[in-house]
Structure formats: C-alpha cells, structure tokens
Amino acid sequence: MAKLKSTLASIISAPVLSIGLTGCALLVPPPTEEGARSYATAPVQQPTTKRSTTPTLSGFSDYEKAALRVRNVGCGDVSRGSGFAISSHVFVTNRHVVGGAVLLQVSTYDGHDVEVETVGSVEVADLALVWTREALPRSLSLANEDPPVGTNVTAVGFPLGGPLTTTKGKVLGYGPDPVGWSSLPMLVNDAPIEHGSSGSPLINDRGQLVGVVYASDGDHFAVPVSVLRQVLDNPSAFTKASACNGAPR
C-alpha cells in the first residue's frame, strides 16, 4: 500500500487533462414500499441514446476518448465493465468491476489494449483506481462540486460489452446507496445504463466528470464527484483488495 499511497499523491499534484460483478451495473431489488426513498426529484424527460460504432479519431469527443472497456478474468468467470481516465496513467472504475480479478483486460475506445500495473479498491464507496503501464489517450477533468437537480448528464461506456455508447438524462436527486456499501448520498439520474455500464463516467454539458455509474434498480445511481475527490485526497480510503462481489476482504 505504500507504493499505492505515494503514487496517489503524485496523481493529486499532477495536472489532469481537460476534455468512459458480473459485468454490469449492479442490479438491486426495488424498494418494498412505494416512496421508500427520499430524494429531490425533477421532471423526467425522455432520454436519448447515441451509439458510437466507427473507431475514427474524428468521430469521437474528447470525453469519449477517455472511456475504457474493462474485462475481469477471475472468480470462475469473465465479467465486463467500463472505466475512464483521470490522468495519463490512471483510470477510475467500480470496486465490483475489479473485485476478485486474476487478470484485468483493458482497452481504449479504439480497441487498443492497455496493460495494468496496480489496482486500488476504495472502502467508502463502489470505486476503484487502476494504474496503467502506458499512457491513456485522453483524461477527464473533475467538476468542482456535485451537480444540482435537473442538470443534464451523459453516461459514456460499453454496455453489454459492445461498442462505445453514450446515453443522456438528467440528475433527479440524491439518495441512499441502494447496494448498502456506503453511508454517503449517491447521485440519482435517468441516463439509461445496461450490463457492462458499471464504471462509466457521468459527464455534464461542460465535459466534466460529475459521477461514476455503478447501480440500477429502475433509477440509475452514480457515486458523486465529491466522493471521488474525497478518495483522491485521502489515500487511507483504499483497501488492498475486494472480493468477487466487490465487498472488501
């Protein structure tokens, strides 16, 4: 962990370029009682979906170029997820995406394979950081604060292990973690996600990261950027490993 802490410190001080459990967003059962959640809501508009299928440099936005496809070989199976770069050699994904991995296979938006060096799971939320041996094509800047209700957001990832896909929605509010791994409020939004979307970045209209997709139970949940910032400022928030289901070991 000493190596992890020293490396994390260098990430925090380095500039970030401004401008991606079974291979899915965690599926959790719906509340047993209607209205069991208490979070602010905004009018829901019909989300739109764009599927990027042509891997040409001119065909992708900068934030799409920061997206990464993640395959976890381990726990007797192969699972799929997503991730996104926050600096030239570090990307963010979910703890349950990397849990129990024997081998992580990572590729960029245009299909280039990336070799992994170190993985650090986070204890306070469903987050993990992964260090790579080679430079990543693009990285995302982090928003300074969590987005207010009604903010337009875009999820960018690899649902179903397929092509890079962006889906659009709005921030509906903040509520309890439906998985129960964190006591911190999670960001609720309606940008559609599917299996393989876990670890996708949630982007605002300025191309800044505002959340990290991780779960769905009808509503879609993301770890807010404020929580990710807390993690980057506090290396003690990391654990050495996580189990196959993402739970800390």
Query: Catalytic residue at 177?
Result: no
- Joined together, the tokens standing for residue 131 give 């260090």
H-type alpha helices, the chain? 2-13, 62-65, 95-98, 225-232
- What does residue 7 show for φ and ψ, rounded to 5 degrees? -70, -40
Q: Distance between CA atoms of 115 and 179, rounded to whole angstroms?
A: 30
Query: Catalytic residue at 96?
Result: yes
- From 79, 82, 89, 96, active-site residue: 96
- From 82, 126, 177, 197, active-site residue: 126
- What does residue 15 show for φ and ψ, rounded to 5 degrees? -70, 150
Query: Catalytic residue at 126?
Result: yes
Asked if 9 contacts 143 with a C-beta cutoff of 8 angstroms, the reply is no
- From 121, 139, 141, 198, active-site residue: 198
Asked if 96 contacts 212 with a C-beta cutoff of 8 angstroms, the reply is no
Q: Which positions are annotated as active-site residues?
A: 96, 126, 198
